[in-house]
Amino acid sequence: MSHSSTLFLFLIVLFFTPALSELCNPQDKEALLQIKKEFGNPTTLSSWLPTSDCCNNNWVGVSCANKTQSYRVNHLDLNDLNLPKPYPIPPSVGNLPYLNFLSITNTNNLVGTIPPTITKLTMLRELQIRFTNVSGEIPHFLSQIKTLESIIFHYNNFSGNLPPWLPSLPNLYRISLDGNRISGTIPDSFGSFSDSLKLMTFSDNRLTGEIPATLAKLDFDFVDLSQNMLEGDASVLFGSEKHTLQINLANNSFAFDFGKVRVSKTLLILYLSHNRLYGALPEGLTSLKNLGTFDVSYNELCGKIPRGGRLQKIDVSSYSHNKCLCGSPLPKCKHL
């Protein structure tokens, strides 16, 4: 082979090497560039270039399945998008079929509703929309994504009622809808969640009514219903045989005899302030050796604080503004 022919072949290889070495799937790259366009080409996504590889860890918020060498985009984590004007979630997000994690957070100019094309993400396990202005009801079509394990919609403008279809997601581990404008009651159907559900948080919404008795069968790690307008008996969330770590029911209108409640021995955090709880403190609290935070202030509790565990180490403010609680760390009981 002549020297000129060798040089010619070398130049051909050199010219085509970038294309041959690119790991990013062409369809995934096309979808990502379309998403960028539908977002108004924000400078946050300036690293998303047609001439670069979306799987080289240089595209902001994009990760690929490099370990399995399929090199499909499976993780999209978009934060602080400086959108030039209000834009909805791009429908093209549904064109990333291998996505198992989708998060869009801290973006005030993100508006509108969740697009139906998201149902094309049949491998999606975690969906996060946090601190945006996305609105509307939580759409029923999300029930089609049976792979969902975690839904986190913190501090948006979602409205309407809690979706009664949520228990139809068989793998759901976490449902968090804190800080929206969701109203109405907690559906009875929530008692049919699978055993996989461990975190349920609906704080800072507009929920009303009582907690369904059907929830007694659920064993949460973490439940937060604080800052709503809920009322009645919340004792169904407690149980000595459960494995609960944290319960926050503060700032509601719950009213039940707290002294009859049996608490989980695993409990670490318990917020019950600003309700209408009555009765005494349950003796079972003394067995909670790892109780770190405990607040029953602003209720109608009465009686001597049981001795034991960490109850005497809790700050007095956590017992304040009750009917007649007494005993260490409060002043001695006079008439009990």
> Mean pLDDT in each 10-residue stretch from start to end of the chain (336 residues)?
49 43 92 98 97 94 88 97 97 98 98 98 98 98 98 98 98 98 98 96 98 96 98 96 97 98 96 98 95 97 96 96 96 82
Q: In terms of domains, do 124 and 205 share one? A: no
Taking alpha carbons only, the member of 78, 52, 195 closest to residue 132 is 78
Instruction: Please report the pLDDT score of residue 2 as a whole number.
Output: 52
Q: Give pLDDT, residue 210.
A: 97
Both 30 and 137 in one domain: the answer is yes
Residue with tokens 């009622």: 161
Assess whether 134 and 34 both reside in one domain. Answer: yes
Of the candidates 73, 136, 126, the residue with the CA atom closest to the CA atom of residue 104:
126
Q: Domain count of the chain? A: 2
Residue with tokens 């697009």: 115
Please give the distance of CA 9 from its chain centroid, rounded to a whole number. Answer: 55
Let me know whether 191 and 326 are in one domain: yes
In a domain, 328, yes or no: yes
* 27 shares its domain with 97: yes
pLDDT confidence of residue 259? 97
Reference 44, options 95, 114, 132, 104; nearest CA is 104
**Same domain assignment for residues 128 and 197:** no
pLDDT at residue 13 in the model = 40
Is 284 inside a domain boundary?
A: yes
Find the domain containing 44 and state its range.
23-158
Strand partners, 207: 184
Residue 75 within any structural domain of the chain: yes
Q: Do residues 95 and 201 share a domain?
A: no
Return the CATH number at 330. 3.80.10.10
Same domain, yes or no, for 224 and 294? yes
> Does 150 lie in the same domain as 34?
yes
Query: Distance (Å, rounded) from C-alpha 233 to C-alpha 249?
Result: 11
In a domain, 38, yes or no: yes
222 plus 315 within the same structural domain: yes
